[in-house]
Structure 1
């Protein structure tokens, strides 16, 4: 198999091309070619998964200095999820290079998200082993960056605090305010109650084991007030007395 074009598309030149060949070899190929000395990509996939995680964490840490650990974790999870990495794999036509059994090919293996994701992780693992972290980062970072805006928006869309703020700013050009009402329980298992208010009017409260989760719960309850409770944001246009 000629992997020169794949190396060109990745912007690399492997010292050991057999590592890249291993990275595109699915287990089903081994099963159908028992006399072949080929090795499947699963060990490289294991390594590549960790390498991508480190690269993504470092990229987000430097690009978003104001986000807390929970928000960074949520965005990282969205960026490295199976569907996102499969999309990157498709952008470099990785499915065309996969060595797999005939049955797997007939079943659509070259386009299956899980296989494409794992193969991309294996390719990154191979690049890391052969060329080091800088080369792996050069493969991963620009491709993650291309997905970042859309994935970030999708991640924010799932955040009730972000959705509530978008709603109130669109209607009244003001943001909700959050306040911790009380905390209970021992230090190792504390529960917080948080209020979310608009223009001084209490919209809802929420509880959680961190202030952040309690705030999200309060925002989710406020959204339900507007979505199914029959209230309008404009009901709170006038400041509370």
Structure 2
């Protein structure tokens, strides 16, 4: 049974300050993964993370997500890819320091897209890493796009592709970001209330109220993330998606499949 985890770019970086990694949060989350693996050595984890204030800054500045003609200057593409890799190195090093055998696998080196959607991804190295009890670490990345020239592929899109187009069918997806999905933006509306469960009875209402990111985010913000996860839950009936805040104890508990009193659960 596979578990997919995403460290949100908004919690491992300050998205309002260019290339500002939150090392304390990254190290705490790495420790939580290590604790879960120690408690359950059979855990098979694919870990992804967003680009936060690293990749999103350059992607937005150069419009990489909107496409770049093949004969145009691709400096922005290169800068975006390099920034994403800098954050990836920080995350992987923190995991290694915590005792997690993490290995970085850059998505753009082996995938292609069309209209911003993944059309092919060679996931053999991810499977090989899992067979060896390693933790493959992927990240939101640039892509060469056969239609629009360039694209940005979000971490959620990567996890969705793995879930639907590979043998790595997850039983659980854990998104570490906001403490929960709320009835309104909790940063702007003090009356916003957490939504503990999203299912077919309230998904339309939740999507209607979901907004975009407050900082530079070329992958669409909360609404886009919820739409992708709901599509997965509809396709894979046994899948559970948990959205939790960056509390290490919550992450360890979620990885071990323990009941949680905080966060949002998405299921059919």
TM-score (norm 2): 0.23
Question: Which is bigger in relative contact order (C-alpha 8 A, separation at least 6)?
Answer: 2
For the pair shown, which has the larger CA radius of gyration, 1 or 2? 1
TM-score (norm 1): 0.25
From the two aligned structures, give the one with the greater strand fraction: 2
